[in-house]
Each structure stands twice: as C-alpha cells, then as structure tokens.
Chains A and B, each alone.
Chain A
Amino acid sequence: MILPDQLNRIMNAIRTLFDIAGKKTEVSLEANPGTIDEPYLAAIRQIGINRLSLGVQSLDDKTLVLLGRIHTADKARQAVRFARNSGFDNLSLDLIYGIPGQSLTDWQDTLKESVRLEPEHLSLYPLSLEDDVPLSGAIQNGELPAIDPDCTAEQYEAAEDYLAAEGYRHYEISNWAREDAECRHNTTYWQCEPYLGIGVAAHSYIDSHRQANTHDLDEYIRIYQLRELYQPEMVEEIAPETQLAEAIIMGLRLVKGIEFESMIDRFGIDVTDRYEREMDELIHWGLLESDGRSLRLTRRGRLLGNEVFWRFLPQ
C-alpha cells in the first residue's frame, strides 16, 4: 500500500510539472476497505487527494467471502465513516452483481445499504471470471450454480430503476453519480481525450498513439535509473478510421451517447451517413435511439453493448 509520504512526493512532482492549483482538479485514489484506517485517510486528504474510490463489492459478509475479499461489511461501512471524517466529500463505491447464487433481493439489499451510506458516485459491475480463479473451479464442479445472464440483466435493470429514484444520474453503462460528481478521469477515456500514464503498466493515449508501459517493476526501475530512452511494452498508432470507431464505441458508453455534430467537427464524418445501415439495424432491434442530434444506447442496448459496438468497427 502506498504511504502518505510517498504519495506526497508524487503530488509535489506533479505540482512542479503541471499547473493544477486552483483548477478543481480531480485527484482520485482507489482503496481497499480492508486496509485503510482513519489516520491514513486523513493524511492523504491533507496531501491533496480529493476523491476516494472504495472497492466495497458487497455489503453481505457471505458474498464477500465468496468473492475472496479480505474485508467485512462492517469494515466497509467503517471505511466510509473514516473517509467522511477525514474530509472526503467525493466518495465512490464499487459494487458487484451477477454473482452465482445471488438473488435479485440480495442485490437490492446491497444497493439499498450502499445508498444509505450516501456516496457521491457508484460503479456497478457484473462479475467476470477468469478460468483460473477458484470461483470458476467451484462452478465447474457443481459447488456453485453458473452465472445466470438473465438474472444478471434483471439485477442491472433493478439498479437503474432504484438509483434513478434515489436521485443518482446514470451517466455511463456502469457508473452513476450525483450532480457534478461524475468521474472526470474516466470521462476522459470515454471521450477519447488524451491522457498520460505514469508508472508500471500504465497506459497513455497521446498524439494518436496508445501505449502501455512495461508491467515489470524491475524493468521500469532500471530504465528510469539509467535515464534510458523509454521503450513502451506496447505502442499502437491509431489510424483515423480507428479513432472514429473508438470515439463512437467509447462515446456510446456514456448514457448521453455521441453527438453527430461533434463527430463531424472532430473527424469530418457524418455518422448518420457512414453508418446508416448499422444505425437502422440497431434502432430496429431497439438497441440504439436517435433524436436527430445524438445517438444513444437504449436501456436494452446498455445490456447488449457489444452487439452495438462491433458494428461500428472500421470496415
């Protein structure tokens, strides 16, 4: 876990190189509810961290064990209290649904409890499993039921309805926020704006190039110590047609979708023309909707995003 002191040095370096003072810059940290305490949070708030994202995942202890988490529901609630006491007024909670054996009611309970903690922001994700995690094994040998996609869909829809009633704005497929509390660094990604990644395995998007830093810590340290010319582990030039496709695909993740005018400004392409057939098809299937100025995923489209996205890939 990174120490306040270390974070401070990073913040100072950033302040020296970039002008972030007085600009309402979002400085966000992700933390595990099981490993933080109030002094820590107070210290990092002091340094300038002004947004905290907590990986709560669930407020049901049995589910937390199933997910292999080290914290309990109480610890999660406590972490929220610590955050507030430390002066954090921009708090986000991560929650997981679509868990084997998790009923609709189980999920709704976690949601209600989470809303009661009054976070400014919520990120909700369906459980995704790699083949080698214990949970996959348990499903394969019948100890746990398989993930039910229809149940997962119901849970998502229930969350949409509930959070809307509670005054949260659904602004991206998996993200909800109060007024002005949208996550700004993520919005950069969804709008395909440039970003600089610093550190091991960090990603950047600069000058139409996407790149990834090495994921090997020793390698990273070695290069920087020797002040060598940096060779990223992966670098990809994004051709104009791909930029357009990415802008549409990422942009559609935002609930407000993409604006046709803005695509013309950025790329000189009229989306309604270039993708007329795809749009007709997807609107016909009830996955997209258009008001003439913008294009958005429908509620159904948010659940079946991939069906929409692949159709906007370059020819």
Chain B
Amino acid sequence: MDQSLTRNFCIIAHIDHGKSTLADRLIQMTGAMRGEEIRNQVMDSMELERERGITIKAKAIRLSYQPKDGQTYRLNLIDTPGHVDFSYEVSRTLAACEGAVLIIDATQGIQAQTLAHIYVAMERDLEIIPVLNKIDLPGAEPERVLDEIESVLGYDADAVLSISAKTGEGVSQVIEEIVRRVPHPKGSIQRPLRALIFDSHYDPYKGVMAYIRVVDGRVRKGSNLRLMEQGTQIEVLDVGCFIPETSPVDQLEAGDVGYIATGLKRVGDCRVGDTVTTASKGAEQALEGYRPAKPMVFAGFYPTEPGDYDDLRGAIEKLSLNDASFSFEPESSPLLGFGFRCGFLGLLHLDIVRERLEREFELALVVTAPSVRYAITRTDGKTLIITNPTDLPLPNEIEKLEEPWVSVSVVTPSKFIGALMELIMENDGVYKHTEYLGHQSLGDLGQRVKLDYDMPLRSILTTFYDQVKSRSQGYASMDYELQGYRESRLIKLDIWVNELLVDAFSRVVTPDKAHDIGKAMVNKLKEVIPRQLFKVPIQAAIGSKIVARADIPAKRKDVLAKCYGGDITRKRKLLEKQKAGKKRMKRLGNVEVPKEAFMDVVRLSL
C-alpha cells in the first residue's frame, strides 16, 4: 500500500465530549462494522471500564475510505484512553500518529483534559484538526466556544469544523479533513525495519500482542525481530490489523499500524516505547521512545486471610500481564503478614485494580498506606535501611534519620498557583523556582506555569497527586524525580487498639503534625470499629506518650427478637448470616474489624 494513501490519527477529547461517538461514526461511515458491536467488542474490552465509562487500553482500527477521486485511503484510528489518570498513555498513542482530531464539546467548551492532550500533541508536531461537537444539543453555544478556541488555542473559528457525532452531521467533512490535512507517513520501506511499540496486550493463545507503528521497512509472519533497547528476541507468529476485529495480513509496512503476535509470556518482556527491528541486519538507531510510566500513588495490598497470599500473588501477576503501568513488589507487615507494595498512575487506577482483584479473582484485600525507605544511622554507628515504621529504632538510638526526597515539578495554569503552592507547603515542600511557559495566556486560567519544589517522597505517596488535580480543577500535571536522601526530623506515630499495637496503622510523621494526625486516626477508628463485648480503648502514641485517645464502649445489647414457633427457621438463618459475617472480618487481637475500616483509615488525606 502506498504510504501516501495512509493517514494515522487519533481522537483526543475530554471525558464525555463525544470521542466514542465520533469513533463509532467514523467506523460506521467507512463501512467497517455496525456501531454497537464495535463499542462492545473492541474499544472497551473490560467490564469495569465499561461501567465507569472509560477506556484504559489503546487500540487501533484500520478504516477504508474511498472519496470521489477514486483512491482508497487507509485511515488508522488509534484509540486513546479517556481518563486523566492515563494521560501518559495518550502521549504514547500520539507518537504513532501524524494527526489528531481534537473534539471540543459545544456546551462545555475547553476542559482540563483537552488542554493536557493538546500540549502533548503540539510537542509531537501533530496536525491537529479541531472539531466542535454536540452542536445538535439545545445547550450548545457554538459561538462562545469557538471564541474560546480562538483565544485559548489560537485556531481560527473558520478552521474549526462543527459537527454532531450523534446525528452524523458534518462527520464526512471530518474524514475529508483528515485525508486532506494529516500528513502521510514518511518512512521508507527500503530501510531496515523500525517499528514503535505503542501498546501491548496479553492474549492467552498468542502471547503478548504488540501494537506497532511501522516507520521503516516491513514485518511479516515468521520474521525474526528484536527489541532494540530491551534486547528481547521475537519470532513473529502472526501479523495483522483490526478492522475492527483482528484480521491477519501478509505484512505490515512503513506507515502501517497493526499488531504482531509475539508468543512472549509477559507484557513486561515487550516494553512499550521500545523499537522493534530485524534480528539480523537491523536498524542502527531506535525511534524516539518513552520514559516508562511513573507511578503516582502507592499502597500496600494484603490478603485479609494470610492463607490467600499465593492467590493474591498469582492474581497480581496475571493482572500485570495486561497492565504494564501497574508496578508491584513484595512487602510485609508483622500484623498483616506478606503482601505487596503497589504503584499506580492515580487513585482511580488504584481503585480499578483493587476492584478487579476483588471481583475477578475473588480476593478479600486489605489496602494500607505505603511506606518509604528510611536510612538510619544509629548511635552505635550502625546504619540500616528500613521500610516498615515498626522497624524504626527508639529515638534515643537514632543518631541520624534520612529519608528519600524528590524534585517535583507541577505544571499548572497560573490561576491555581496559590492553591497548589499551599498544598506543596502543607506537604513539607521546599521551594526552588517558578517558570512561565510560553507566552500565551489561556483565558482566565492565565499562563502556563511550572513550579519546581523539592519534597520528601513520603508526602507524595498517597493522596498528593489527587489533590494536585482537584485543587487545579484537573488542569495541573505533575512529575517527579528521585533525588537522594536528606536528613529529617521524623517520629513514629503508633496506634494502639485495645492495648495492642497495630503496626498497619503506624506512620512516620513530622513532630508538628503528630497530634492532629493521631487525633484524626483515633476518631476515625472509633467511628468504623463496631462495639465489641468489651470496652476498646484507642490510642495514638509517640513511643509511650499518648497524643490522642478515644474509647469505644462495650456492646450492651444486640437485637433481641422474639422467638416463637414460626420464627425459628428465620432466626437461625439470621444467626448463620451473622456467623458468616464474622469470617469476613479482620482481627486486631480480640477486636473484630470490618476490612473497610482499614481502607477508611488509610484514605485519610493527611
């Protein structure tokens, strides 16, 4: 196929602005499959994603378009993830494209995610086709939004197409614009193979399916390839594209987008962002790839029953086959036993993974706050690295305590500088500098600004990223780099439940926050722990010094129903239910606690 007839593009948009609808329309209008089927089969392949209305995995569909000039164009639509947690995934999709259709909702105008993706698209020099969608809705304000587009993005109102993906109005023009304006790929079929892996997926029958964008050369079934950076050797079992169902082809060549079935067992063996080339006489220089996705949120995942550890490990490994952005490593806690410290792209990602583990793999999980590694120099000169707050020596044994620091940069519209600086300061950030990016002011959002701070790693581990997003209405983005260790004055805050030290709740905190954090945790526990057969004192302490306490009084009465001849079976069933409920509880010594209690305590945004 002549590269000049190929167009590789994606659709970028804020959530619910009509990306899926437009995709369906395009697929429909180019003759590939009926609307409903595509949705269900290809674009959203996981039940959970469908429920939440978001897409996690990127996929590519080959469309055929025959305009009046008689040529047949090949349009490769590469799907992009819909949620802001996954914006790094968008950037890797964009690398496979030359153009992007940018959808803006005529009722809502430019939103946070729109901007985020535009920046990435601009950085990659993509041809952007702005499109105003939902013009059919009564609440549509095309003039206002076109004005906004002009002032914020700089696109002439006349250059913006007005469409309704729902009714189909204007969509054929979108296709024509794609053909007209998106540059065709310019690689060379003569040169040695270079193909960028922009996504992957594990198939039980074919092994890892790598989605590739071929830049130079060609690849066919049986080709022997290697990953240029990772080194993995691959024998191509199968080559194909999606129309939208998988469709094997003879070969993929320069300019094409499709998949290769590698037979590899682990997604990790076929790293996204790497370049594939032929095993022998391959290319010399790899294509520009990506940095691996950085986890932004960490948590400890433990099985509620220690006996389920192996099941949890198996489930996590299986899940990670298809989600390379989810990282994990073994961790342990004296109270909870063995588990994993997991890294996620955001709290939503954490929630999704947790739900999948619980639902698909039927695991009962405890999710805890994670910990950083501390470097201790003891008074006797010995040094040690600890991850568990419980391993922290007594204060009088510690000569020096150091913790890892990160340099954090937050890019935000200037409107939110105040709120974000406040957040960073609350989290022990040390200011470095502010840089204004570009010259353009984005309406009342102001100019784009980059804030650079140094922060302790522990500050950004849980809810920080989420708060960056919420304090900036989603417009800000964040990045961090590990920097090294610095000395800190930190102490261990312990939580005692019924005179038992619950190390799952122990935290390393700054002295000035100990009382507040302790009080909040104690109050939360009092709220979520049900009354027991005995009084339960709850205390927050630093060593032996109690900084907060609350008591849960003993239960005095349960539901005492009458029980006569007609009640016996029903009463017995209620008791059976009660008994079953006990099994699902976690025990802290003698205290029975529903597992949700742990999650609640951990999720305190402190």
Contacts and interface: CB of A to CB of B under 8 A. Distances in A.
Interface string A236-279: 10000010011001100100000000000000000000000000
Contacts of B560: 125-126, 173-174, 303, 305-306
B566 interface: yes
B557 interface: yes
Contact of B558 (A150, A174, A190, A305): A305
Interface string B549-582: 0000101111111111110110010011011001
B561 A246 contact: no
B533 interface: yes
B534 interface: yes
Contact of A304 (B533, B553, B568): B533
Contact of B557 (A203, A253, A303): A303
Contacts of B572: 242, 245-246, 249, 313
Interface in A209-245: 210, 212, 234, 236, 242, 245
B559 A306 contact: yes
Nearest to A311: B579
Interface residues of B, number: 23
A205 B566 CA distance: 9
Contacts of B557: 126, 149-150, 152-153, 156, 303-304
B575 A153 contact: no
Contacts of B575: 249, 306, 309-310, 313
A99 interface: no
Contacts of A25: none
Nearest to A234: B569
A212 B565 CA distance: 10
B568 A189 contact: yes
Given A249-B572, A310-B575, A313-B576, A189 B564 contact: yes
Interface string B516-558: 0000000000000000011000000000000000000101111
Given A285-B533, A309-B575, A189 B558 contact: no
A262 B601 CA distance: 50
A201 interface: yes
A307 B533 contact: yes
Nearest to A303: B557
B379 to A, nearest CB: 44
B556 to A, nearest CB: 4
Interface residues of A, number: 41
A128 interface: yes
Contacts of A311: 579
A186 interface: yes
Contacts of A150: 553, 556-557
Contacts of B562: 125, 174
Interface in B484-517: none
A134 interface: no
Nearest to B566: A203
B120 to A, nearest CB: 50
A250 B561 contact: no
Q: Which of B557, B558, B565, B566 has the most CB of A within 10 A?
A: B557
B569 A210 contact: yes
A238 to B, nearest CB: 9
A299 to B, nearest CB: 11
A157 to B, nearest CB: 9
Interface string A284-315: 01010000000000000001111101110100
Q: Which of B534, B553, B564, B579 has the most CB of A within 10 A?
A: B564
Nearest to B558: A306
Contacts of B561: 128
A174 B562 CA distance: 7
Contact of A186 (B534, B553, B564): B564
B558 A307 contact: yes
A101 interface: no
A234 B561 CA distance: 21
Interface in B436-470: none
Interface string A128-143: 1000000000000000
A206 to B, nearest CB: 12
B534 to A, nearest CB: 7
Contacts of B553: 150
B563 A128 contact: no
A189 B582 CA distance: 28
Interface string A188-204: 11100001010001110
29 contacts: A126-B557, A128-B561, A149-B557, A150-B557, A156-B557, A173-B560, A186-B565, A189-B563, A189-B565, A189-B568, A190-B563, A197-B566, A201-B566, A203-B568, A236-B569, A287-B533, A303-B557, A303-B558, A304-B555, A304-B556, A304-B557, A305-B560, A306-B558, A306-B559, A306-B578, A310-B579, A311-B579, A313-B572, A313-B575
Given A186-B564, A205-B568, 14 more contacts: A128-B561, A150-B557, A197-B566, A202-B566, A203-B565, A205-B565, A236-B569, A246-B568, A303-B557, A304-B533, A304-B558, A305-B560, A311-B579, A313-B575
4 shortest A-B CB distances, which residue pairs?
Answer: A153-B556, A203-B566, A153-B557, A306-B558
